[in-house]
Amino acid sequence: MSALAEPLAELKASVASYLKPADLTRLEEAYHFSNRAHHGQYRKSGEPYIHHPVAVAEILSHWHLDPQTLVAALLHDVLEDTDVIKDDISERFGKPVADLVDGVSKLDRIEFQTALDAQAENFRKMLLAMARDVRVILIKLADRLHNMRTLEAVSAAQRTRVARETLEIYAPIANRLGLDSLYRELQELAFKYLYPLRYATLAKAVKAARGNRREVVGKVVDSIRQKLADSGIEAMVTGREKHIFSIYKKMVEKHLSFSEVLDIYGYRVVVNDVPSCYIALGALHALYKPVPGKFKDYVAIPKGNGYQSLHTSLIGPYGMPLEVQIRTWDMHRIAETGVASHWVYKDDQGTLFEVQQRTHRWLQSLVEIQDTSGDPAEFLEHIKVDLFPDEVYVFTPAGEIKSLPRGATPVDFAYAVHTDIGNRCVAAKVNYELVPLRTELKNGDQVEVITATHANPNPAWLSYVKTGKARSQIRHFLKTMQFEESAALGERLLNQALRGLDAEPNVIDADRWEKLVRETSARSRQEILADIGLGKRLPAIVARELLVTPGAEASDDSRPGGSIVIRGSEGMAVQFAKCCRPIPGDPIVGFIKKGQGLVVHNHDCATAAKARSDPEKWIDVEWATDTEKMYDVGIRVTAANQRGVLAKVAAAIAEAGSNIENVIMDEERGMYTTMHFTIQVSHRQHLARVMRNLRRVPDVVRILRQRD
């Protein structure tokens, strides 16, 4: 047998037990096609390139994946590294195989601004292909595993980059899909190449400790077997050494030295059925004392990836802590192969259907995140957030279980139920009690979301939400709202500029708008208006461009066309300057600030005075006669330092119909104390009413409005 045929022979031997003869012939055809395409190409290790796709197909064959996936695995690099195009694969091996290969292939032929953009776009494409067909990511994970096993051959810089990418993205995806063995091996290999000295030191320490503890481990396994046999339970009991990365993670998280990590061995008990799991648990708790609070029931409430087991921590011989997993054989198979078990064990339909449903829900959430994240880097950020392995399990009022990342809040829960519930969320009850929306949820909490029809997402939510879906939906809503509000403001600013040029807005026909959209490379008329509202385009210049006739020069003669009326309902498109905090009744000026829109200042604001050098950006503004909101304003109150003075001042403010947003008291206090309030008023007369009320408080000696 030639050296070239050896990899094929090994692959055929691996799949012969479950593939039909016709499938083996198809596999052989794909092998020869791939071998011809990669002819003359070698891996960094020096072996012919064909060895890599064959190794990837062999990894997938251990999960008994279907012939299409194995053929795609053999061809997975031909689009990226050879002259073969997708149509060639589609014609020879069918469209499903071509789609799988295309989903796995990188986007190396497209130019990106940075390596980060390229990486982000690659992941976006791959994950969306995975959402259509989960086999894409199974091929990619097998590809990454073989690359990690042979990473020694590449440069140190590339080893570090690939290892970090594996630890941050691919290992968590394997975990999310329930591929436990693959997840552990990817973590271990990534740790080995990312931190080689730490890995070598810990590996040496584990090897040294192995001899000392082997006898104890044997005794524990024997005593567990005996106890279970005495209880009438048939079980397989094994003791295994924990992975070096798991030990390292525990040392880092709990600030322990290696000598303090006593539980470097874990124990697994596999029984025949679910009732036996709980009987075995009782028997073990009778044999060794359980550690309080260290029991987790993933049988009754499975993890998000379908994983099921009972986890318990016990105090073993010589005070040594023991970690034990108890599961059935079906649970064991799903724990090892996760979503791939759909192909491995086709007769376990009941359990596997639930695993597939969970995976499908997660994959659909990726599509939702993509729909709201235009930027690939932002999409990648959301996905990284969504790959947290630690989970909390909470209940809806109807008793349905929701799985969320640790640290999730009622806002995350609201978006997990439905996007509209998240967008309309105003409050939440946890275990029937009202709580702040930033409250961290705990296992077993019952969460009820309170909504209001006209409520909108709060930008402050972005500082504490944990799920990618919540983060992307909030950002999407805020961007959309800002775009719409900015376009409305832009239209008002443009109309003002047109009137300043003695033209009415209705004289601008659709053809002129279409011509301007083409010339400015904008996507639409709305985009130009939004750019005006955000200060990215000057209204006077756009007005002149719209009015200019073919062959004529644009006129520079622009006169004021009336003021923009500020109603207070413009949303994010109009901002009130924090430096001077204008309120209705104050003389005001408007300044177009790029990216922020129209910023309103008091006319005598010192900060605004510094920016008057560009007259094109200043807009005449005036208050509407009936503004529609409350405005923040700062006041400074100096009062005698008497007991209860803060309560008296707060009561006087409340009596005048004003709400206190914030209060800060000066630290230095003698005979008098100074309080800085941020209060809400509807206009200048309302503020005057508040200040009159405060003057009636006997202890108050001075009141000032604070401009900054």
Catalytic residue numbers read 80-81
Query: 441 with 394: CB under 8 angstroms?
Result: yes
Q: Which residues contact 4 (CB under 8 A, 6 or more apart)?
A: 35, 48, 50
* Residue whose entry in the numeric block shows the structure tokens 């939510």: 461
d(CA 524, CA 443): 48
d(CA 647, CA 633): 20
For residue 271, give the nearest of 307, 304, 232 by alpha carbon. Answer: 232
DSSP bridge partners of 622: 565
d(CA 11, CA 58): 6
d(CA 409, CA 14): 47
CA angle 272, 277, 280 (to 5 degrees): 105
Largest CA distance in the chain: 105
Q: Which residues contact 128 (CB under 8 A, 6 or more apart)?
A: 366, 367, 370
Q: How far is CA 625 from CA 131, 394, 564, 565, 628, in A?
A: 54, 50, 13, 9, 10
Q: How far is CA 42 from CA 30, 52, 71, 192, 384, in A?
A: 19, 10, 21, 25, 33
Side-chain-side CA neighbours of 415 within 13 Å: the count stands at: 26
For residue 127, give the nearest of 70, 172, 65, 82 by alpha carbon. Answer: 172
Task: Locate 180 and state its tokens.
Answer: 């436990």
* Residue whose entry in the numeric block shows the structure tokens 């939906």: 473
Task: Locate 15 and state its tokens.
Answer: 């799949």
For residue 150, give the nearest of 189, 120, 191 by alpha carbon. Answer: 189
User: In which element (H, E) is residue 687 found?
Assistant: helix 684-695
Q: Is 401 helix (H, G, I), strand (E, B) or coil?
A: strand
Q: How far is CA 451 from CA 411, 448, 539, in A?
A: 11, 10, 39
Side-chain-side CA neighbours of 545 within 13 Å: the count stands at: 16
d(CA 263, CA 209): 11
* Paired sense of beta strands 564-566 and 447-451, if any: unpaired
DSSP bridge partners of 404: 392
